[in-house]
Amino acid sequence: MKVYLDYNATTPVDPAVLEAMLPYFRERFGNAASRSHAFGWEAEAAVKRAREQVAELINAQPEDILFTSGATEGNNLALKGAAAMYAEQGKHVITQVTEHKAVLDPCKYLEQKGYRVTFLPVDATGRIDLAQLAEAIKPDTILVSIMHGNNEIGTLQPIAEIGRLCKERGVLFHTDCCQTFGKVPIDVQACGIDLLTCSGHKIYGPKGVGAVYVRRTRPRVRLEPLLHGGGHERGMRSGTLNVPGIVGLGAAAEIAGRQMATEGPRVAALRDRLRDGLLAQLDHVTVNGHPTERIPTNLNVSFAFVEGESLMMGMDDIAVSSGSACTSASLEPSYVLRALGVGDDLAHSSIRFSLGRFTTEAEIDYTIERVVAAVRRLRAMSPLYEMVQEGVDLKAVQWQPH
């Protein structure tokens, strides 16, 4: 059996989404900006429909939605665009240490351009402290960027409380919702969100397309564009629109909205079945992230005395990740787990299992069996595990240098 449990990295395109996209590659291939003939009008109507589908999922207006090439561009546009547009009001931005690189790297870029960025720490479950956030907001703070659900450990941040705080202090609030859009309810009005980023390929849509919600009223948010040329997307994101991709994102958003109430609990139950199955058969296993405030699709587990990479090789018929896909080429321990206070040895032993729409109970049971067998096999070769089994306290051991 081949099992795919890396849905946080990417998802397969839903057959219904592909079906919706296909006509826009051939019969309806017009440019959405061509206003003088039916081919353009048809494409424009399809884009308008997709705006409605994306907006409906987050309780926004269709005109608030801008289409991008994906979440990395969306995060860059939100952060750099807002920073440039509101530079006269202040040059202070707040984020957190466990953000995705597509937020951390633009923040580091802003630091090079003379902005001051505060990187808030997180607690052992991966959540920020609201009192620390309140304290960090200064008169020159223009933007707070805190992701909704973490891509590695699944922890959910209290975005409604963060949004309320930002509104009270007159600061813009951006949230990267790539892992939660279409999976858990999001209401940009109730949560006081001014800017929100999402991506097609995390919700069974195509790769290479995403969206940014940019609030138009109370307050009207404006962004300095990253791309110039043609003034598409309210002048904030020029470029010929990827009509088939946008249609796919819209269709995926609509399907996610229809299924969310049943799909979320179903996937969460499978995730808990996986967690309970592993904990019942293995000792020295730690679940990383918040125990309850987490996205339904994610389970991040550290298996002490086992190398994560070796474990993945030992069960190569199961697709999992030992960190986020964007940084998995590096053998450095995950910066997200380090921020939680997880030691390097445990961070190196962590595996991210992420479940999705097509995950079955049979796949979960097979995965439990394969993981347990692989961990036991690797631990049988570990002198450290043997010492712990014999009651030795490894922290008390005086290791002799060679």
Judge contact between 164 and 192, C-beta under 8 A: yes
340/355 Cα distance (integer angstroms): 23
* Backbone torsions φ then ψ of 142, nearest 5 degrees: -110, -25
Which residues have C-beta within 8 Å of that of residue 109, sequence separation ≥ 6? 80
Which residues have C-beta within 8 Å of that of residue 361, sequence separation ≥ 6? 270, 273
Please count the other Cβ atoms lying within 10 Å of the Cβ belonging to residue 192. 20
What is the longest distance spanned by two Cα atoms in the chain? 80
**Entry field: residues in the chain:** 402
Task: Name the DSSP class of 207.
Answer: S
Closest CA to 213 of 55, 92, 326: 55
88/65 Cα distance (integer angstroms): 26
Residue bearing tokens 């595996």: 351
Catalytic status, residue 107: no
> Could you tell me the two tokens for 310?
């070796």
117/325 Cα distance (integer angstroms): 25
Closest CA to 17 of 355, 178, 184, 255: 255
Q: How far apart are the first and last CA of the chain?
A: 45
Judge contact between 292 and 154, C-beta under 8 A: no
Which residues have C-beta within 8 Å of that of residue 48, sequence separation ≥ 6? 62
Instruction: Out of 177, 178, 191, 326, pick the active-site residue.
Output: 326
Active site (catalytic) residues: 326
